[in-house]
Chains A and B, each alone.
Chain A
Amino acid sequence: MRFLTLILFFIGCFAGISQNCNNTFSGKIIDSHDNTALVDAKVEIIETNQTVLANADGTFSITNLCDSKYTIQISHPFCITQTHYIDISKDLNKVFWLEHHLEELNEIIIKGNHYNNKTNTTLESKISKDELERYSSFSLGDALNGVSGVSSLNTGNAIVKPLINGLHSSRVVMMNNGVRMEDQDWGAEHAPNVDINAVDNITVIKGASALQYSGNAIGGIIITETAKAPVKDTLYGKTIITGASNGRGGTITSQLTKSFQSGWFAKAQGTLKRFGDFEAPNYNLSNTGVFERNFSLSGGLNKFNYGIEAYYSLYKSEIGILRASHLGGAQDQVRAINNPQPLFVSDFSYDIDAPKQDVEHHLATLKGFKKLENLGRLSFQYDYQQNKRLEFDIRRGDDKDKPSLDLNLQTHTLLFDLDSKLSNKSNLKTGVMAKYQNNFADPNTGVRRLIPDYDKYDLGAYAVYNSEINNKVLLELGARFDYTHVDALKFYRTSFWESRNYDTIFQDIVIEGDFGDQVLANPKLNFYNPSATAGFTYKFNNTYKLLFNYSLASRAPNPSELFSEGLHHSASRIEYGDLQFKSETANKISLTLQRESNVFNFSINPYINFINDFIVIEPTGVSQTIRGNFQVWEYRQTNAQLIGLDIDAAYNFANNFQYNHQFSLVKGYDKTRDEALINIPPVNIKNEVIYKNSKLNNLRLKLQSDYVFEQNEYPNNNFEVFVPETGTMETVDVSTPPDAYHLLNFSSSIDFKINKGTAITVGFDVSNIFNKSYRNYLNRLRYYADDLGRNFLINLKINY
């Protein structure tokens, strides 16, 4: 058949030469990204040396062509030149689609295409690649701390958990490279298992409005992304080496990307981080070392109309927990809190002993997309995550080297999304999600399971619509529904089971068997969670913009809130969950006034969040055990209200000089009990002056002042305990927040170009310049030790 066609072609050609040279070849050149005409695209016929330029509507026409085969080249200053072969036997009209690329390809993808907005009516804060590189030796939480309205709940200085507008843990969703992190995030001392060096961009959405990711982000969503590989033949990479005086350690991270004109690409990245004991201004913080090893690999095909990508990453970290924070009962707590210095201080060491955490997170993703005409961009993603969490306590006898907590959480997720352009001005995103999760708590620890074995099934579906009503108004509407089923197997102490009346309420879920003084229960729980969002953006002019958003979010209780029952060692308290909890629902209204110009920018963002059935843990009494007294904390549901204001401002007050200001305020109340909520960030003001000079090797000097007020609204959870040494009842002050503090930090960097492809950036930073002793209300170890002292940091980045 093919042969026959060929013959016919040849016959046609030969016949043509002798006869007709009056054919016209016309057509249109279109940018395949946005369907606009490519003005001045050059169309060249190689055989005849004829050249024309496309006119304003992208059309062109070449006359006087004979019946023949021609080679045509279509080029445009910002496009990859295309070569086509055409057979002319009569007039021909053809449309050509060119892919519009800039010379600095990666750059433009980053700005224009890849890191696009996730929502249209809520303020999004982004952390750029340059900024992230400066945090190379820190954690993700530290970098996020730089965003207004985001603070962190710390356990020491290495476990940093982001807090958005006063909320954290299961209320903050972490999207890592398109994958929702499932890393036991319910725990206050469980930081996100993400290597900051594997991330090129972070977006923070303060609220639940990005329904395409989740409907339960009552606090907000953190989205980390990697840069898209360019579609051209290239090989590039970078290495960052950081050394720090505090902790006497550093980080080395490297990444390499190879990409091809054909769209294929491969990326490899790895990080090694090692620190010994960190230091407070006056003493060593014993057993606070960190050892982190991460790597990631990815590869795939990146075409304009379709693409496929495979990604794998391993995050492995070992973090020492301040030795002085390991306590017995409340009597130990009194001694630790009343002593101005930690009760255990030893010389500097790189050793990481118990108490410590050893966490491993595997993440594998396979995703693809296809652009379908008249339908939109259809994408699919499968991801698998395995989170292995070991926690070691100081133990006795044969159990010395055994972990006290050994959890293995495995999650499979399947996503299908469709992004359709309904018209030039409106867009509809829809999608479905299915998830299966299994938690296995190893009984060989010899410690009762903190989190039980469970299977969890999630199904979700969403639709988000946005439309440009006119030049000034953009509207956004969305809805989502999630169904969660939890099937757990949990051993309860018979004494607790009965004290809660579970033996009558839940007699149906008890599994018969002889388990000594324990009861085996098989709770099967269902949660139905609707969520929705509505908002608009109003553009006053090119400078001022107003964003309004309302979101409804609902969250099923997490395993800790449902099943906790027993001593939580790292908190030195007994914690009780409740099987009867229902989902919590939040209604958040947020308003943003934004000004964007060359000289003066600002955004003012007040918000209010009403949360019904808010799950809060708080003390209810003191339990006497043979080990002494422990405070009992029980989860309960209440109605909460969070109200706050975030302000960002930037002013270029002189050539090369910029002044930045940031202000965050949030107040949280328990409306049922009419008291303040615990762990609400105090008011924080940051001011910085930056000097930048592009003529002086991009010299950048920054002086930052960070003032944190004392939290003046907090619940009083103090309690009294008998201390035998003094024979008196003493108050255990676990409530009073520490004093306000002011830190001064310096940061600088300068670029050197070595040759065409290689550049070096050298950075020098000093944090806590005056070596000030301070304690942070949101650091769970604030009772036992001061925060970090002065730190000198040298940062060397090589781009090649």
Chain B
Amino acid sequence: MKKIQILAAILFTSLLTVSCSDDDDAIAIVPVNEEELITTINVTLTPVGGGTVVEYSSQDLDGDGPNLPTVTVSGNLTAGTTYNGTIELLNETEDPAEVITEEVEEESVEHQFFYTVGGNLDISTTYTSFDTDGNPLGTTFDLEALTASAGTLTFTLRHEPTKPNTGASDAGGETDIEVTFDVTVE
């Protein structure tokens, strides 16, 4: 029995030591800033042959937190005009902001943007950037504003979609970005 008592004493002491030592350094704790977070999408539409640049953006600085994203549309599209579109993704919780578009381009095979037109909006889109297998990536695109109309345009970025596909509905994968803008063609 002696042995057991000694052992118990040793264990009890070690227990206390462990618990005490942990208390002291507990404050040395660092916050985690989400590395893969995408806070911002900026879509820039530059008219071919000059004119007013149209910008769409959505910013959600608290990520999955309760605050709503801030959505802005700089202006309307002009009927009969073709625009060169580029998409920029940022993580603005870092300083300077991290450009996520670069990561997406590096892993082009595993990503694809989709442009979904809703309502009566009369526009057409064409992919102008492609992955290393020649399938659409969509960080850049052409947008043709056809006739005067209004509706929604949704930008969706899917991670690990099935490629090739016929659109967002059969692409599968996991949604990394999904933002809907109210768009008017005049």
Contact = CB atoms under 8 A, between A and B. Distances in A.
A457 B35 CA distance: 33
Contacts of A344: 172
A626 B31 contact: no
A397 B36 contact: yes
Contacts of A499: 66
Interface in B93-146: 93, 103-104, 106-107, 110, 116, 118-119
A308 interface: yes
B8 A449 contact: no
B23 A455 contact: yes
B39 interface: yes
Contact of A438 (B8, B22, B107): B22
Given A397-B36, A626-B60, A727-B152, A520 B29 contact: yes
A623 B64 contact: yes
B31 A724 contact: no
Nearest to A443: B32
Interface in B39-77: 39-41, 58-69
Contact of B4 (A308, A438, A625): A308
Contacts of A326: 174
Contact of B15 (A370, A414, A516): A414
A448 B34 CA distance: 6
Given A455-B26, A520-B29, A412 B119 contact: no
Interface string A209-232: 000000000000000000000000
B176 interface: yes
B29 A623 contact: no
Contacts of B3: 308
B68 to A, nearest CB: 5
Contact of B27 (A366, A445, A511): A511
A414 B93 CA distance: 45
A574 B64 contact: yes
A382 B34 contact: no
Interface stretch (A28-36, A487-495, A754-762): A487-495
Nearest to B58: A626
A115 interface: no
Interface stretch (A64-72, A253-261, A328-336, A692-700): A328-336
Contacts of B118: 724, 727
Nearest to A488: B26
Interface string A616-643: 0000000111111010000000000000
Given A566-B64, A724-B178, A397 B93 contact: no
B175 A328 contact: yes
B147 interface: no
A396 B107 contact: yes
A332 B175 contact: yes
Interface string A455-478: 101000000000000000000000
A455 B29 contact: no
Given A443-B30, A499-B66, A724 B11 contact: no
Contacts of A653: none
B42 to A, nearest CB: 12
B79 interface: no
A366 B11 contact: yes
Nearest to A567: B64
A752 interface: no
B87 interface: no
Contact of A449 (B1, B32, B59): B32
Q: How large is the interface on B (under 10, 10 to 19, 20 to 34, 35 or more residues)?
A: 35 or more
Residue picked from A328, A447, A457, A520, most chain B C-beta under 10 Å: A328
B155 to A, nearest CB: 9
A331 B175 contact: yes
A436 B36 contact: no
B88 interface: no
Given A329-B178, A382-B11, A396-B107, A724 B34 contact: no
Given A446-B35, A447-B34, A518-B31, A625 B64 contact: yes
A327 interface: yes
B18 A436 contact: yes
Contacts of A566: 64-65
A496 interface: yes
A14 interface: no
B182 interface: no
A625 B69 contact: yes
Given A623-B66, A625-B69, A626-B41, A516 B32 contact: no
Interface size class of A (residues with CB under 8 A): 35 or more
A455 B154 contact: no
B66 to A, nearest CB: 5
Contacts of A724: 116, 118, 152, 154, 156, 168, 178, 180
Contacts of A567: 64
Nearest to A378: B1
Contacts of A489: 26-27, 29
Interface in A505-539: 511, 515-518, 520
A753 interface: no
A770 interface: no
B164 interface: no
A317 B65 CA distance: 33
A625 B59 CA distance: 9
B93 to A, nearest CB: 7
Most buried by B among A438, A453, A624: A624
A460 to B, nearest CB: 15
Contacts of A792: none
A540 interface: no
Contacts of A448: 32, 34
A457 B159 CA distance: 43
Given A397-B103, A724-B118, A343 B38 contact: no
A628 B178 contact: yes
Contacts of A627: 38, 64, 175-178
Contacts of B178: 328-329, 331, 626-628, 724
Nearest to A623: B66
Contact of A399 (B19, B36, B179): B36
B71 to A, nearest CB: 10
B60 to A, nearest CB: 4
Interface string A558-591: 0000000011000000100000000000000000
A496 B63 CA distance: 11
Contacts of B172: 335, 343-344
A382 B8 CA distance: 8
Contacts of B61: 517
A517 B178 CA distance: 23
A626 to B, nearest CB: 4
A399 B22 contact: no
Interface string A719-754: 000101101000000000000000000000000000
Given A626-B60, A626-B179, 15 more contacts: A366-B7, A366-B11, A368-B4, A382-B11, A396-B107, A396-B176, A438-B19, A443-B29, A446-B36, A520-B29, A626-B177, A626-B178, A627-B176, A724-B116, A724-B180
| 4 closest A-B pairs by CB | A328-B175, A446-B35, A724-B154, A628-B178
27 contacts: A306-B1, A308-B4, A327-B174, A329-B175, A382-B7, A394-B174, A396-B159, A398-B35, A436-B15, A438-B19, A445-B32, A455-B19, A457-B19, A494-B62, A518-B31, A625-B63, A626-B39, A626-B40, A626-B58, A626-B59, A626-B179, A627-B175, A628-B177, A630-B64, A724-B156, A724-B178, A725-B116
Interface of B: 1, 3-4, 7-8, 11-12, 15, 18-19, 22-23, 26-27, 29-36, 38-41, 58-69, 93, 103-104, 106-107, 110, 116, 118-119, 152, 154, 156, 158-160, 167-169, 172, 174-180
Interface of A: 306, 308, 326-329, 331-332, 335, 343-344, 366, 368, 370, 380, 382, 394-399, 412, 414, 434, 436, 438, 443, 445-449, 453, 455, 457, 487, 489, 491, 493-496, 499, 511, 515-518, 520, 566-567, 574, 623-628, 630, 722, 724-725, 727
